[in-house]
Chain A
């Protein structure tokens, strides 16, 4: 099975550069603006797009992404509407990989089989589900792989060499290395430590390793892109979006541009890095 994610990493390997991976919350601050942003991201330089599925209780997220989820829910976002958004994006872009990221409960309530069918049909390529460790692989990971979706696992500084094989066993697409122990949007990653961690993971897998948490500037994105196969930026983009809203939290004429401008400069950072040797 080859997904758009596999194809994209194969292309990037030929180009000798790392992936720029963006994260934004579906429906933030409203479904129409959110779709407009997502549609504009590939042009701004996003190689892979992660879309958050809003949840009331995002236990691994910091204040920026918590607030983004609440804005989206307030604007009436649901799991079905998130899948609609992917469908509409796919009408104009059949190559940029889409990864849905979030928590298990909305999927469990939607029904795992129905969700996988709907997600595949909408054009989703992979899933990152924060609260499903390998110990719960039977829930969604195995069915997702069977349905032809990538299941992208988080590895963290606490995932030691003994545990890595279990974490990597059913992982596909890429490995998402969480560069800090902490919630999204908090501390920033140290590129040297990240490099060591990526090297450690690569001793256990041939999959690309993308690194996220704490990347906020083009310089930081460049440093991470030198050390890994991809740099993921979430909270910084969400913060830029929030800063563009009016006093009532509604989108303004500046909102789409605020996000895509930052994305473009981060993408430049990533493209400025020579890829570390494989």
Chain B
């Protein structure tokens, strides 16, 4: 198949929600009228200056934006190559980039008069952000979380419950993020009249991939201005981890039409690409799941396969459709990092910079460990530090303790 190079990488999706062959609206009829309503409500909100003003106010005073762009001097010296900057999304309220999107969606939900919010969560970061904003705006909140993830991300489960959310451990299928999304969709089909589904990543039926990307693009927009201030020019490369791909899309999108900027997404290679992993682009092919066509991990018969990653937030057999398109057009280069590489990067960043990254973000750091040394000292590299590692401390602590014995 030949891929047509577009005039702009920033103009998608089309009116039917397609990024090339990817995206679309593959949902049950029950949901379709609501999805069309949402598309309209979001278009109205986007065109309303009052909506943007209100968003900006909460982003500044509640979320704590802008998040800093920090020169990681010791990491740079240690790796001996590119000058590494960290975009400090982990300093946002709730500890990750997820809050940027949740704030936007909750404000859209309020415009639509919805009183009940549901969400899926893997690592719990999106669930915590959703629980937080539901508390702030007095909305009912139900979070679906795979039973496996409930066990390995307990601190976030406790946080969600403290914030007043109901956490439902999902027992169906593989009991991880994809099944949490299935059960959230089942809830939505059942309670469509009063419920808003706050999707946590740049996936799902149109308009979600576009809407979530728009809310997350503040990451890249700030980075452009901050790098201009720090160095007087654009960065030379961007690196971000990818599960569904929302933190990556948020950083990448404002730079897609700057050809001088190299862009790298890092998928989770789990135990290795020849074993169990979660690298949909590297190890999957196009299929249809959860409302969109995108790269998926599946068998020869189109049955979805189990993903594996040490990081609950990346443990998903799909990826946002715009990433599939950026992969096929070649604009973004997609790499992967194994569980072991992520663990090493987790420890390295903690020791060198005094920043404990989320295991998700540690996948991006892992690839920086070989991308940076291969580039000159005047090369400016931005890594999205999408979340902090507090939630992973018990899990990583257990793993490391097990190894000392």
Task: Say yes or no: B288 contacts A59, CB within 8 Å.
Answer: no
Q: Which of B31, B178, B186, B298 touches A109 (beta carbons < 8 Å)? A: B298
Q: Of residues 49 to 80 in A, which have CB atoms within 8 Å of B's CB atoms?
A: 54-63, 66, 73, 78-80
Is A142's beta carbon under 8 Å from chain B?
A: no
Task: Say yes or no: B190 contacts A104, CB within 8 Å.
Answer: no
Task: Say yes or no: B182 contacts A59, CB within 8 Å.
Answer: yes
Task: Say yes or no: A105 contacts B298, CB within 8 Å.
Answer: yes
- Chain B positions within 8 Å of A58 at CB level: 182
Task: Say yes or no: A153 contacts B33, CB within 8 Å.
Answer: no
- For chain B, give the interface size range: 35 or more
Is B136's beta carbon under 8 Å from chain A?
A: no
CA gap between A66 and B287 in the complex, in Å:
20
CA gap between A172 and B296 in the complex, in Å:
32
With A79-B301, A133-B25 already in contact, the answer to whether A158 and B173 are too (CB < 8 A) is no
Task: Say yes or no: A135 contacts B301, CB within 8 Å.
Answer: no
Is B224's beta carbon under 8 Å from chain A?
A: no
With A66-B172, A105-B287, A181-B193 already in contact, the answer to whether A135 and B32 are too (CB < 8 A) is yes
Q: Which residue of A lies closest to B28 (CB)?
A: A60
Is B185's beta carbon under 8 Å from chain A?
A: yes
- Chain A positions within 8 Å of B34 at CB level: 158
Task: Say yes or no: B287 contacts A183, CB within 8 Å.
Answer: no
Is B371's beta carbon under 8 Å from chain A?
A: no
CA gap between A110 and B189 in the complex, in Å:
28
- Chain A positions within 8 Å of B179 at CB level: 57
- Chain B positions within 8 Å of A133 at CB level: 25-29, 32
Is B289's beta carbon under 8 Å from chain A?
A: yes
Task: Say yes or no: A178 contacts B29, CB within 8 Å.
Answer: yes
Known: A59-B28, A59-B182, A135-B16. 5 other contacts (CB 8 A): A57-B178, A63-B172, A66-B173, A135-B32, A155-B29
Task: Say yes or no: B185 contacts A59, CB within 8 Å.
Answer: yes
- Chain A positions within 8 Å of B191 at CB level: 181
Q: Of residues 167 to 220 in A, which have CB atoms within 8 Å of B's CB atoms?
A: 167, 178, 181-183, 186
Is B12's beta carbon under 8 Å from chain A?
A: no
Task: Say yes or no: A108 contacts B302, CB within 8 Å.
Answer: yes
Contact with A along B23-63 (1 / 0, CB 8 A): 01111111111100000000000000000000000000000
Is B290's beta carbon under 8 Å from chain A?
A: yes
How many A residues face the partner with a CB closer than 8 A?
44
With A66-B172, A183-B190 already in contact, the answer to whether A57 and B289 are too (CB < 8 A) is yes
Q: Which of A73, A158, A163, A181 touches B303 (beta carbons < 8 Å)? A: A73
B189 CB, nearest partner CB in chain A, Å: 6
- Chain B positions within 8 Å of A66 at CB level: 172-173
A23 CB, nearest partner CB in chain B, Å: 16
Is A248's beta carbon under 8 Å from chain B?
A: no
Task: Say yes or no: A136 contacts B33, CB within 8 Å.
Answer: no
- Chain B positions within 8 Å of A105 at CB level: 287-289, 296, 298, 302, 304
Is A145's beta carbon under 8 Å from chain B?
A: no
29 cross-chain CB contacts under 8 A: A55-B302, A56-B173, A57-B182, A59-B28, A59-B182, A59-B290, A109-B300, A110-B302, A130-B28, A131-B26, A133-B27, A135-B24, A154-B30, A156-B28, A156-B29, A158-B30, A158-B31, A158-B33, A158-B34, A159-B29, A159-B33, A160-B33, A178-B29, A181-B30, A181-B189, A181-B190, A182-B189, A183-B190, A186-B190
Is B349's beta carbon under 8 Å from chain A?
A: no
Contact with A along B303-327 (1 / 0, CB 8 A): 1100000000000000000000000
Q: Which residue of B lies closest to A133 (CB)?
A: B32
Is B192's beta carbon under 8 Å from chain A?
A: yes
Q: Of residues 177 to 216 in B, which have CB atoms within 8 Å of A's CB atoms?
A: 178-179, 182, 185-186, 189-193
| 7 nearest A-B pairs in the assembled complex, by CB-CB distance | A109-B302, A106-B302, A182-B190, A156-B30, A131-B26, A56-B304, A133-B32
B315 CB, nearest partner CB in chain A, Å: 15
Q: Of residues 106 to 156 in A, which have CB atoms within 8 Å of B's CB atoms?
A: 106-110, 130-133, 135-136, 153-156
CA gap between A42 and B336 in the complex, in Å:
53
Task: Say yes or no: B289 contacts A153, CB within 8 Å.
Answer: no
CA gap between A23 and B107 in the complex, in Å:
42
Task: Say yes or no: A78 contacts B301, CB within 8 Å.
Answer: yes
Task: Say yes or no: A163 contacts B33, CB within 8 Å.
Answer: yes
Task: Say yes or no: A183 contacts B178, CB within 8 Å.
Answer: no
CA gap between A93 and B378 in the complex, in Å:
76
Task: Say yes or no: B192 contacts A136, CB within 8 Å.
Answer: no
A213 CB, nearest partner CB in chain B, Å: 10
